[in-house]
Structure 1
Amino acid sequence: MASPLISAAELADALGSVTVLDVRYRTGGASGRPEFDAGHVPGAAYVDLDADLAAPPGVGGRHPLPTPADFEAAMRRAGVRDDRPVVVYDDWSGLAAGRAWWLLRYHGHVDVRVLDGAWPAWVESGGVVQAVAVPPEPGDFTARPGAMPVVEADGVPDVPVLVDARAPERYRGETEPIDPVAGHIPGAVNVPTTTNLRADGRFRSPEELRALYAAAGVTGEEDTAVYCGSGVTAVHDVIALELAGIRAALYPGSWSGWITDPRRPVERSTSARP
């Protein structure tokens, strides 16, 4: 299995032979377009997470998956081709870029990687910064959904190992700054996305990640699924698990979709994972 990551040095060497997508974004914040316009990886196309990588909020949560037709159109506008590798990056530790990575993989693109260390790694490495956007040539990407595992709300209670990727205080139900109900899905274990990274903002080694997840009971011996608040940042754990050699499904609706049905159980706890 090819690594889901690419280093800044590797990306610099590959420029001109890959399609680069800039997915800068913050939950609840404004579009990252101004940051893109101020400077980006040469040749990159900006992709708006809310407009291009999600459907409107509803019973599927705050960031439901886009329809295959809408996603295909967005990727073609960004210049994505079926036969050309894609690199995605953001300035949010890969939390937004991971959404583009997962959607492309889910819809059948076989060569997609996330810039390890995100935009800061590019700048720190001395990568060229381009401030003039060049409209991409339209791509020919064809969406073929189903290449990555997913689990929907009805199947979540049957998942043997369910991982909650949110911050510990949100998992425990002590605070909930975004969604109207606090807590977590019963039986879930908590492995926050922040623990996937080293101090320099890059992903931990596969060995470190295997140990990190094993401490929470995630070993890959049983089917595993991941969720977060709205299905975006959970992909960070999916990537970490892939690096550790564990294939995990995504629950796209995540917590914000789970709580749209008041009949679904909610659990709160007073102790965090060690």
Structure 2
Amino acid sequence: MGKVFKTVEEIQVDQVRFVDARFDLQDKAAGKQAFENGHAPGAVYFDLEQDLSDMASGNGRHPMPSKEQMASLFEGYGLTYDDTIVVYDQGAAPFAPRAWWMLKYAGFPNVYIVNGGVAALEKAVDFTSEVTSYALSTVYFDWQDQLYAPREAVKAIVDGKVVATLLDARAAARYRGEVEPLDKVAGHIPSAKNFDWEQLKEDGMLHANDALRSKVEKNERVVVYCGSGVTASPLYAVLADEGYDNIQLYVGSFSDWITQYDVETGTNE
């Protein structure tokens, strides 16, 4: 998949389309308010719940939107496959990676994440409160279905019909089933390993480390998940940036899995 993260020095700011994906799970209006207060020139705003999830679906807490919903979003903002798209959030957060993954799933070839988020980007560009309008685009989408793992594909792994590693991006205590603040069942998808995505944070940026590299080999097929497909996104993005090329995101994640199947507790490490 190639390079995912870019530093501000690597971005030609006058030749890209910016996407602002800031969000706060505790204050759901905060991201949009931050965008309205000031954003990168020409940026458009993708809201985690209004744009990057289908909250009317019952398939988890931040369910996968339909292809039609995603097409409407991307074309509505005038994006094309010729664009270089640069996504940012508050930095070392899961929201830009979620937007990045959905754009890659929709086939956009040149999409990157600002490593360091707003704090880094503000050093390179003058933020503005002016909102840019774009003409609708028409995109002949080349959907990258191989990037996505639906529930049935994960069940095939659990049942041993498909060989792949399930990697749970949640905190270890949630993975082991000792606590569960959000979902009605505690534990993890059977056979899954655990790698807390918070371990990727370093000085407001996201980076791979030796602990991650030792967890999964580059030749493995890896399916990442979390509680609702949000915090698994940075884990996916970092693996992709490291050159892992056989990875999938289970967007429904644990909150979708438990609607149909049993879980296990403890650890597989």
For normalisation by structure 2, the TM-score amounts to 0.89
Could you give the per-residue CA deviations for residues 105-155 of structure 1, whole angstroms, max 9, x where no partner exists? 1111111001111112223x3531112222233333343323542222222
Deviation of 1:164 after TM superposition, in Å, equals 0.4
Give the unaligned 5+ runs of structure 1.
none
Give the unaligned 5+ runs of structure 2.
none
The one-letter amino acid of 1:201's match is G
Match of 1:22 in 2: 20
Q: Answer yes or no: is the 8 Å Cα contact 2:91–2:204 preserved in 1.
A: no
Q: Which residue of 174, 181, 188 corresponds with 2:185?
A: 181
Match of 2:250 in 1: 251
Secondary structure at the counterpart of residue 49 of structure 1 = coil
Give the distance between the partners of 1:92 and 1:159, measured in 2 at CA.
34
Give the distance between the partners of 1:57 and 1:193, measured in 2 at CA.
27
Deviation of 1:222 after TM superposition, in Å, equals 2.4
Aligned positions of 1:124-143 closer than 5 A: 125-143=123-141
Deviation of 1:36 after TM superposition, in Å, equals 0.4
Give the distance between the partners of 1:131 and 1:66, measured in 2 at CA.
29
Secondary structure at the counterpart of residue 205 of structure 2 = coil
Give the distance between the partners of 2:103 and 2:96, measured in 1 at CA.
11
Point out 4+ residue stretches in structure 1 off by more than 4 angstroms. none
Q: Answer yes or no: is the 8 Å Cα contact 2:53–2:63 preserved in 1.
A: yes
Match of 2:72 in 1: 73
Secondary structure at the counterpart of residue 113 of structure 2 = strand
Match of 2:2 in 1: 2
Deviation of 1:258 after TM superposition, in Å, equals 0.4
The one-letter amino acid of 2:33's match is P
Give the distance between the partners of 2:232 and 2:180, measured in 1 at CA.
17
Moved more, 176-185 or 134-143: 134-143
Q: Answer yes or no: is the 8 Å Cα contact 2:61–2:256 preserved in 1.
A: yes
Give the distance between the partners of 1:215 and 1:254, measured in 2 at CA.
23
Aligned positions of 1:154-173 closer than 5 A: 154-156=152-154, 157=158, 158-173=162-177
Deviation of 1:82 after TM superposition, in Å, equals 1.7
Q: Answer yes or no: is the 8 Å Cα contact 1:19–1:79 preserved in 2.
A: no
Q: Answer yes or no: is the 8 Å Cα contact 2:191–2:268 preserved in 1.
A: no
Could you give the per-residue CA deviations for residues 68-101 of structure 1, whole angstroms, max 9, x where no partner exists? 1111111122231121111111115241111111
Q: Answer yes or no: is the 8 Å Cα contact 1:47–1:78 preserved in 2.
A: no
Secondary structure at the counterpart of residue 49 of structure 2 = helix
Moved more, 99-108 or 144-153: 144-153
Q: Which residue of 193, 201, 208 corresponds with 1:197?
A: 201
CA gap 1:148/1:28 in 2 versus in 1, 3 angstroms: farther
CA RMSD of the aligned region, Å? 2.0
Moved more, 131-140 or 62-71: 131-140
Q: How many residues align?
A: 261
Secondary structure at the counterpart of residue 52 of structure 1 = coil
